[in-house]
Amino acid sequence: MGIVTEETIQDENILSLEHQAVLDAILAENKDKPGATMVVLTLVQEKLGFVSHAMQSYLAQALEIPLSHLYGVLTFYSFFRMHPIGRHKINVCLGTACYVRNGPTLVEKYKQVLDVKVGETTPDQRFTLEICRCVGACSQAPVVMIDDDIYGRVNPQDIPKQLRKYE
Ligand code: FES
C-alpha cells in the first residue's frame, strides 16, 4: 500500500456522521427483515460504495450479530468492497491474449507507479488498481481499461504519461 497518512487512517477507522446517517436509515428500514445482514450490506455497498471497518463494527452491533459473521459475508462475496474506490478505476486485462502479451508486466508497472497492490486505492483516492478478464479487444493486447477508456498495445513505459490524463 502507498503512504498511509493520518487522514487515510481516519477514513478507514472512524465512522463519519454523514455515513452513520446513511447506515441508520438503511438499518431502520431493513433491520428486522429476513436475511437482514445481506440486505443491509448490499444497500450500504450500493449507497456508499464500500463497507469500512468502522461501518462493519457499527452494523454488527446494530444487527446484533458477531463482527466475524458480518466480515465472513463481506469476504465471501467479491462484489463487496471494504475500502473506498478511487475516482478512476484501472482494469488491467489478464485474459489469455493479454496475459501472453505482457499483461503481468503491466500489472507490475502500475503497482510500482501507483505504489499500491491490486485491489487497493491510492491514498489520494485517485486510482484503484484491478485486474479483469477479456474485454473483447484481444487483437489490441495487452489491453488496459481506465474508467470507460480502452487502451490497446499498452507499453509499460507509457504508463506514467497515460495516468497524467486522469488528474
Ligand atoms: S484477453 Fe485481453 S482483451 Fe481479450
98 lines ligand 1 (CB under 6 A): yes
**How many CB atoms within 10 Å of residue 123?**
17
The packing angle between helices 53-63 and 36-48, to 10°, is: 150
Nearest ligand 1 atom to the CA of 95 is: 1
At 6, the pLDDT band (50, 70, 90 cuts) reads very low
- Look at strands 144-146 and 88-93 and give their pairing: antiparallel
**How much is the CA Rg of the chain, to the nearest whole Å?**
18
Half-sphere exposure of 156 (CA within 13 A, CB side): 14
Q: Which residue has the cell 487502451?
A: 151
pLDDT tens figures, 82-113:
888 899 999 999 999 999 999 999 999 999 99
H helices present in 31-126, as ranges? 36-48, 53-63, 67-76, 96-100, 103-114
> Where does the pLDDT of residue 12 fall: very low under 50, low under 70, confident under 90, or very high at 90 and above?
low
pLDDT digits (tens, 9 = 90+) for 37-76: 999 999 999 999 899 999 999 999 999 999 999 999 999 9
Tens digits of per-residue pLDDT, 123-155? 898 999 999 999 999 999 999 999 999 999 999
Q: What is the pLDDT of residue 85?
A: 85
Which of 136, 46, 37 minimizes the C-alpha distance to 91?
136
Distance between Cα 148 and ligand 1 center (Å): 15
What is the rounded distance in angstroms from the CA atom of residue 116 to the CA atom of residue 120?
6
- Choice from 91, 92, 98, 102 to test ligand 1 binding pocket (greatest atom count within 8 A of CB): 98
Pocket test for ligand 1, best of 107, 134, 144 (most atoms within 8 A of CB): 134
Calculate how far, in angstroms, residue 128's C-alpha sits from the geometric centre of ligand 1. Answer: 20
